[in-house]
A and B are shown apart, each in its own frame.
Chain A
């Protein structure tokens, strides 16, 4: 019975959200101190030596310090500022062909050696129940190296007051523009991760991430109706510069219906637009159900990619390791082996990577010390590969790991997690405004909404933030109560046009859950605006009471 700690943001059905909180509360200024690399190496060597001496054939050690700062605001008030720190060591070993893992927050040589010996003891016990020994794809030691998220402004150096004032200014802008209520948040993460293994790697990484979501709610008490519009930002693997709101990073959505953002975000401008949109939603036309051509913006499509391509191509799901929780996958090994499984139309090229700057998945090395890379998952519509870690590579004939192992904490064991999985831009020149011209009866969807998919990733249903009717080649009025429902293979085979690289950008998820006990991961998904033809749209309006 895992008693997870959550921060409850908002109450009630309108905007309730539970976010996991790790670590202990500390002062903001304490976040700027760091443990010297030489000290980390010395501690890592203690673990490697203790494990080897106890009989391990392989050992890796992860020394982690995880810092989070969450700022939560409601209307014109700061509700909560939380600074947390969690530090400790996780030791993973292979002994007698089985894994063992132990973790401790006792960062003394004795504490760490003890954890290493405990990991070996657990591996010996697990070996008795093991039918297939662990086979790790080879990794060449890289010696002592370091990597850091490329950032311009470290969020830890920006005063809390300045950040809180920015959120309150956004809330005020939303309320002035028509929202009855606003809620905005700033999630900031710094992970100081040191990895060492008996392969001869000592990797020091400093990772930064940030997310600034908000929600604007408009209420019409006379009719009893309420509607919300969430922010259109994306979580990023960047520093505080993401909130610089540079002019050159703003683009217009098709038909000029919204302002969208690329490398930086104007939260005040978006909040103002959200206040207007939320109010407009109260009287928007309710959609007529039926088949439509959908034009999906990257701010929306990222989540559809995540659920319908990202998760089903995780090799551990395909093999059945997640059967009891997240589920298995329709993208079975026989489909991949056939080399002709039409996952999508020939326009569909999906690439996995952990190298795109600014993305949530971007690191130099994964949590098994594998240098990160980029590889094809779907090529010209055909399933060509999966996401594999060191112990899985041999199952699909790979000589090396894909470098997508991750643990959300020093205290949890690393396992296969989704890298960035992205739809490549169209090869023909095409802008969103040009795409609209060819659509007779369609809906343009911007931003993510409700999402649900079955445990093998066939049947899904997605909502959105903003919906606009497309009629005879023009973006028209706002629609409401829209959700589309499809089957993964049918949907991707209905992909009929993709805008070119000028329109390509990423969306992402900050709290992606998997595993038991559950672990949270972060992942980005890129795409350009994309058209899917003849998709089933349902009307979600209901009356109660």
Chain B
């Protein structure tokens, strides 16, 4: 695919907008090139490359809206896609919650592009897989993993004069290493915008070490433990909780942030004093587009939790108008404040506890309290007197991230972790948490 330049996309956007006869028109020109390599049982299983470029046009007549998409950019095609969107809008039911296109926005560019990532080729991917596979073979271990990289561009414009263009890159690597007898398993995940910050050897070595150390796990009784949760163990828990930071749901009484009598917990101190969580599109570790792709509102820094207090909620355009406040752009990243302490330092200060590499299969049990269940996986260890003593069997937990963030003892240095089932780029520290609720044992390795 050709990654279109700003001049090219500006021309395409202007042409498409000029064809519109509707009350308003918004366009998005996007393109991406994604490469991947997958391996299992110490050999490559699949490798692929996919390109996609398209323009999406949304128009409105009154409160009726229509959207159409096409992947050709000549004038004839652009006019066709605009007419198609207009036809669909005329047929659409009127949406009582329709909100007009946003006024001109000021988008301050974020550093979402890395030339090194954009230059990743099949050899780079093969080398990444090959290092993990060769290192595992040497250690009589079995590797399975997935590396994927992407380069994309996004251009947005509307009939009120909004225009933005930005290029993005990113990569994700996960690797599971298991012993041949299946008694040990380790895992690693690395995400980055810039491939200069990715080291395949370092990553594979982490998974290998965890696999070797996790053999012959002992069973501990389920119960409440002090835990050291690596970032991959808490990222999804936090993501689930942050879905609830929605003003409409809260005001309607169906969020954990709604409280008795119909008020919201906005402003309440719901978490430990040390907890600070915010979104910032310009953070150099987890940069994201400076606009919300759904409504084109410019993203700003948004402090969701400040010194343990619920500080801000997301307002859709509709709900903001109803409540007489400014609408917000949905965050694209989540950043949690930390310290300079490494995970090893958190372990060293722990008398008795459990180290959790990652959590898995997390599901909402009760949205009223954000009670989540899930399991530990691929490296769970018992800590005594500041040292990892031995591997332990995996646990199922039933715990609310609200309770977890109230029971924080110590926080470490944040690291980048891409979302899995939660669509945020995240920068999260390891955390030491007391009384984490493990409710049963699992035999799974």
Q: A residues engaging B (CB < 8 A)? A: 1-3, 6, 11-16, 18, 24-27, 77-79, 81-82, 99, 101, 103, 105, 122, 125-126, 129-131, 160-161, 164, 180-181, 217, 219-228, 319-325, 327-328, 330, 332, 411, 413, 450-459, 461, 463, 481, 483, 485, 487, 516-517, 538, 540-545
Question: Does residue B349 face the partner (Cβ distance < 8 Å to A)?
Answer: no
Q: Are the C-beta atoms of B69 and A24 separated by less than 8 Å?
A: yes
B2-10, B11-19, B103-111, B437-445: which lies at the A interface? B437-445
Question: Does residue B367 face the partner (Cβ distance < 8 Å to A)?
Answer: yes
Question: Does residue B394 face the partner (Cβ distance < 8 Å to A)?
Answer: yes
Picked from A18, A125, A180, A541, the residue with its CB within 8 Å of the CB of B366 is A541
Q: Are the C-beta atoms of B374 and A1 separated by less than 8 Å?
A: no
Q: Are the C-beta atoms of B260 and A223 separated by less than 8 Å?
A: yes
Picked from B32, B47, B249, the residue with its CB within 8 Å of the CB of A13 is B249
List of A residues within 8 angstroms of B93 by Cβ: 78, 81, 161, 164
Q: Which residue of B lies closest to A165 (CB)?
A: B93
Q: Would you give the shortest CB distance from B139 to chain A, in whole angstroms?
A: 16
Assuming the contacts A81-B92, A324-B40, A455-B361, asked whether A545 and B142 have C-beta atoms less than 8 A apart, the reply is no
Docked pose: A544 CA to B178 CA in angstroms = 39
Question: Does residue B382 face the partner (Cβ distance < 8 Å to A)?
Answer: no
Q: Are the C-beta atoms of B44 and A129 separated by less than 8 Å?
A: yes
Docked pose: A13 CA to B241 CA in angstroms = 7
List of A residues within 8 angstroms of B226 by Cβ: none
Given contacts A1-B418, A542-B400, A545-B402, 8 further A-B contacts (CB under 8 A): A25-B67, A25-B88, A223-B260, A225-B368, A324-B175, A454-B360, A517-B36, A543-B369
Q: Are the C-beta atoms of B253 and A221 separated by less than 8 Å?
A: yes
Q: Are the C-beta atoms of A12 and B265 separated by less than 8 Å?
A: no
Q: Are the C-beta atoms of B41 and A226 separated by less than 8 Å?
A: no
Q: Would you give the shortest CB distance from A357 to chain B, in whole angstroms?
A: 32
Docked pose: A27 CA to B92 CA in angstroms = 11
List of B residues within 8 angstroms of A459 by Cβ: 375, 394, 396, 440-444
Q: Are the C-beta atoms of A14 and B254 separated by less than 8 Å?
A: yes
In chain B, positions 242-294 with a C-beta closer than 8 Å to chain A are 243-244, 246, 248-250, 252-256, 258-262, 265, 268, 270
List of A residues within 8 angstroms of B254 by Cβ: 12, 14-15, 180-181, 217, 219, 226
Task: Name the residue in A1, A6, A456, A541 with the highest tally of chain B Cβ atoms < 10 Å from its Cβ.
Answer: A1
Q: Would you give the shortest CB distance from A466 to chain B, in whole angstroms?
A: 16
Question: Does residue B163 face the partner (Cβ distance < 8 Å to A)?
Answer: no
Assuming the contacts A12-B254, A542-B366, A545-B270, asked whether A79 and B373 have C-beta atoms less than 8 A apart, the reply is no
Question: Does residue B317 face the partner (Cβ distance < 8 Å to A)?
Answer: no
Q: Would you give the shortest CB distance from B390 to chain A, in whole angstroms?
A: 20
Question: Does residue B365 face the partner (Cβ distance < 8 Å to A)?
Answer: yes
Assuming the contacts A180-B253, A226-B253, A540-B366, asked whether A320 and B142 have C-beta atoms less than 8 A apart, the reply is yes
Q: Are the C-beta atoms of B249 and A321 separated by less than 8 Å?
A: no
Task: Give the B interface residue count (CB, 8 A).
Answer: 104
B48-56, B213-221, B320-328, B340-348: which lies at the A interface? B48-56
Docked pose: A393 CA to B42 CA in angstroms = 21
Q: Which residue of B lies closest to A321 (CB)?
A: B40
Q: Are the C-beta atoms of A321 and B366 separated by less than 8 Å?
A: no
Q: Are the C-beta atoms of A12 and B248 separated by less than 8 Å?
A: yes
A selection of 29 A-B contacts at a CB cut-off of 8 Å is A1-B172, A2-B150, A11-B248, A11-B314, A12-B246, A12-B254, A25-B68, A78-B93, A78-B95, A122-B47, A126-B44, A224-B259, A320-B40, A320-B144, A322-B144, A324-B146, A324-B175, A450-B373, A454-B377, A454-B442, A456-B443, A459-B440, A481-B366, A485-B396, A516-B146, A517-B36, A538-B439, A542-B371, A545-B265
Contact code string B84-126 (vs A, CB < 8 Å = 1, else 0): 1001100111011100000000000000000000000010001
Docked pose: A327 CA to B364 CA in angstroms = 21
Docked pose: A164 CA to B93 CA in angstroms = 9
Q: Are the C-beta atoms of B261 and A224 separated by less than 8 Å?
A: yes
Q: Which residue of B lies closest to A6 (CB)?
A: B423
Q: Would you give the shortest CB distance from B22 to chain A, in whole angstroms?
A: 15
Question: Does residue B339 face the partner (Cβ distance < 8 Å to A)?
Answer: no
Assuming the contacts A1-B149, A321-B45, A450-B373, asked whether A330 and B444 have C-beta atoms less than 8 A apart, the reply is yes
List of B residues within 8 angstroms of A131 by Cβ: 42-43
Question: Does residue B311 face the partner (Cβ distance < 8 Å to A)?
Answer: no
Q: Which residue of A lies closest to B122 (CB)?
A: A125
List of A residues within 8 angstroms of B44 by Cβ: 126, 129-130
List of A residues within 8 angstroms of B361 by Cβ: 452-455
List of A residues within 8 angstroms of B295 by Cβ: none
Q: Would you give the shortest CB distance from A36 to chain B, in whole angstroms?
A: 23
Docked pose: A196 CA to B268 CA in angstroms = 63
Q: Are the C-beta atoms of B367 and A13 separated by less than 8 Å?
A: yes
Q: Which residue of A lies closest to B258 (CB)?
A: A224
List of B residues within 8 angstroms of A221 by Cβ: 253, 258, 261-262
Q: Are the C-beta atoms of A14 and B249 separated by less than 8 Å?
A: yes
Q: Which residue of A lies closest to B46 (CB)?
A: A413
Assuming the contacts A181-B254, A458-B444, asked whether A11 and B249 have C-beta atoms less than 8 A apart, the reply is yes
Assuming the contacts A1-B418, A81-B92, asked whether A458 and B442 have C-beta atoms less than 8 A apart, the reply is yes
Q: Are the C-beta atoms of B423 and A11 separated by less than 8 Å?
A: no
Picked from B170, B260, B439, the residue with its CB within 8 Å of the CB of A222 is B260
Q: Which residue of B lies closest to A104 (CB)?
A: B51
Docked pose: A225 CA to B259 CA in angstroms = 8
In chain B, positions 369-397 with a C-beta closer than 8 Å to chain A are 369-371, 373-375, 377, 394, 396
Question: Does residue B34 face the partner (Cβ distance < 8 Å to A)?
Answer: yes
Q: Would you give the shortest CB distance from B361 to chain A, in whole angstroms?
A: 5
Q: Are the C-beta atoms of B400 and A126 separated by less than 8 Å?
A: no
Question: Does residue B351 face the partner (Cβ distance < 8 Å to A)?
Answer: no
List of A residues within 8 angstroms of B36 by Cβ: 2, 516-517
Q: Which residue of A lies closest to B366 (CB)?
A: A540
List of A residues within 8 angstroms of B88 by Cβ: 25, 27
Contact code string B396-428 (vs A, CB < 8 Å = 1, else 0): 101010110000000000000010000100000
Question: Does residue B353 face the partner (Cβ distance < 8 Å to A)?
Answer: no
Question: Does residue B128 face the partner (Cβ distance < 8 Å to A)?
Answer: no
Q: Are the C-beta atoms of A13 and B443 separated by less than 8 Å?
A: no
List of B residues within 8 angstroms of A320 by Cβ: 40-41, 142, 144, 178
Picked from B84, B268, B365, the residue with its CB within 8 Å of the CB of A540 is B365
Q: Would you give the shortest CB distance from B120 to chain A, in whole angstroms?
A: 11
Docked pose: A485 CA to B373 CA in angstroms = 11
Assuming the contacts A1-B170, A455-B361, asked whether A545 and B34 have C-beta atoms less than 8 A apart, the reply is no
Docked pose: A408 CA to B76 CA in angstroms = 32
Q: Are the C-beta atoms of A454 and B253 separated by less than 8 Å?
A: no
List of B residues within 8 angstroms of A101 by Cβ: 46, 48
Docked pose: A250 CA to B93 CA in angstroms = 32
Q: Which residue of B lies closest to A164 (CB)?
A: B93
Q: Are the C-beta atoms of A226 and B258 separated by less than 8 Å?
A: yes
List of B residues within 8 angstroms of A26 by Cβ: 68, 84
List of B residues within 8 angstroms of A224 by Cβ: 253, 258-262
List of A residues within 8 angstroms of B368 by Cβ: 225-227, 542
